[in-house]
Amino acid sequence: MNIFNNHKRLYITAGLLFAFLTYLTVIMPAFKNQYNNLPLPGTKPLSGDAKAGKLLYIAEGCVGCHSQQVRNVEMDKVFGSRPGMAADYANIGRTSIWQNTATLMGTERTGPDLTDVGNRQPSIDWNLMHLYQPRSVVPQSIMPSYKWLFEMKINPTKNDVVVSMPSQFLNGETGKLVATKEALQLVAYIQSLKQTPLPQGIIANDFLYKKAIKIELGKDGSASLDGKALYEANCVACHQANGEGLKGAFPPLKGSQIVTDGNLELYVDIIMNGYDARAEYGVMAAVGTNMNFTEKEVTAIINYERSSWGNKGKKVTEEEIKKVMDFVKIKASASNQ
């Protein structure tokens, strides 16, 4: 045949066939995929600081221990309110002309998944302490400390962000611990990691392989949630497992007046809307509101804290807490206006 005797024709035909097949099997599906998976409507772009923080996250190798993907299996439920989907990553572009798109989904989970860590752990103070010395807030942590993102200053200026670090973690160094610009950028990135809520009316895929929920039965046979598990998931990072908190950063709940016999309204308000009453401690974020606590959950946590570490507070009922929560909600929305 003529085509096999004419090298020009042969190459042009093969080239065209190659281009056509590449278009059909590679380029067209990629385009289609992109338009099928637009970012969710509420997706927020990264701020300038968070963008710089993302580069530091890559440079420091955090992805070696942390994933950013909530799989649709029950054991991943603690890492987000719904399983991840393609649209969650659709907003991420190339890092630079020379660098590929860094979705940072990760393959290793030596530490927890960080997809929704901005909601789970919104405190700047906690994140800075944890970066400087993870074992100051999580005694059994195996995460490396990132001390080079901080410096010691004898006389910090007004613009310096001073980290209230208990002195036993400062290795005898003198002065105040100050976060560098890099540490603040990295924390800005970590705090930007939040799952975008689905638009109204769209229901997320379910988590598969559900486990039975542990339920405690009260004396009267009524079912309540496991307060200890809720405390461990939401409060232990700061107030610690022994309820003693951390001197100079987080107050003890063991023996706390507010916990045992203070007014219930303040207690519930602190859990739902956070607390910043004293200079000697950091700021508590609005843990309950961020996690969408129900009255069942708040009741279980309060009853756990009132009966642990030697605390002997009166147990509360769901009805009592519901009333207080309604009141606290009205108060919070009034003060936001």
Among 50, 52, 104, 117, binds ligand HEC (CB under 6 A): 117
The site for ligand HEC, by CB under 6 A, has a size of 50
Stretch that binds ligand HEC, among 31-39, 68-76, 159-167, 273-281 (CB under 6 A): 273-281
- Write the CA distances from 5 to 11, 13, 17, integer angstroms: 11, 13, 18
**In angstroms, what is the minimal distance from the CB of 199 to ligand HEC?**
27
Among 39, 90, 95, 112, binds ligand HEC (CB under 6 A): 112
Among 120, 128, 224, 264, binds ligand HEC (CB under 6 A): 120
Rounded to 5°, the CA angle 201-206-211 comes to 140
- Binding flag, residue 238, ligand HEC (CB under 6 A): yes
- Binding flag, residue 256, ligand HEC (CB under 6 A): yes
Residue nearer to ligand HEC on the CB measure, 83 or 134: 134
- Binding flag, residue 277, ligand HEC (CB under 6 A): yes
Handedness of CA 47, 53, 58, 59 (dihedral sign): positive
Among 129, 268, 285, 325, binds ligand HEC (CB under 6 A): 285
- Binding flag, residue 37, ligand HEC (CB under 6 A): no
Read off the tokens for 324.
């207080």
- Binding flag, residue 178, ligand HEC (CB under 6 A): no
Residue closest to 112 by CA, chosen among 190, 172, 58, 171: 190
7 contact partners, CB below 8 Å, separation of at least 6: none
CB atoms within 10 A of CB 14: 11
Among 19, 142, 162, 208, binds ligand HEC (CB under 6 A): 142
- Binding flag, residue 59, ligand HEC (CB under 6 A): no
Q: Which residue is nearest to ligand HEC (CB)?
A: 111
**In angstroms, what is the minimal distance from the CB of 263 to ligand HEC?**
11
Question: Residues 60-79 vs ligand HEC: string with x where CB under 6 A?
Answer: xxx-xxx-------------
CB atoms within 10 A of CB 145: 16
Q: Which long-range contacts (CB under 8 A, 24 or more apart) does 137-142 make?
A: 137/237, 137/238, 137/246, 137/249, 138/237, 139/240, 142/110
Q: Give the total residue count for the chain.
A: 337
Residue closest to 92 by CA, chosen among 28, 53, 27, 34: 34
- Binding flag, residue 118, ligand HEC (CB under 6 A): no
- Binding flag, residue 134, ligand HEC (CB under 6 A): yes
Handedness of CA 228, 230, 236, 239 (dihedral sign): negative
Among 287, 300, 316, 325, binds ligand HEC (CB under 6 A): 287
Among 132, 150, 207, 281, binds ligand HEC (CB under 6 A): 281
- Binding flag, residue 324, ligand HEC (CB under 6 A): no
Spacing of C-alpha 177 from chain mean position: 24
Half-sphere exposure of 229 (CA within 13 A, CB side): 9
Residue nearer to ligand HEC on the CB measure, 82 or 120: 120
97 contact partners, CB below 8 Å, separation of at least 6: none
- Write the CA distances from 77 to 69, 178, 262, integer angstroms: 11, 35, 34
CA distance 307 to 3: 88
Stretch that binds ligand HEC, among 44-52, 67-75, 81-89, 269-277 (CB under 6 A): 269-277
33 contact partners, CB below 8 Å, separation of at least 6: 86
Among 104, 184, 264, 284, binds ligand HEC (CB under 6 A): 284
Binding residues for ligand HEC, rule: CB under 6 A, are 57, 60-62, 64-66, 110-112, 117, 120-121, 123, 126-127, 134, 138, 141-144, 146, 186, 190, 234-235, 237-239, 250-251, 253, 256, 258-259, 267, 270-271, 275-278, 281-285, 287, 301
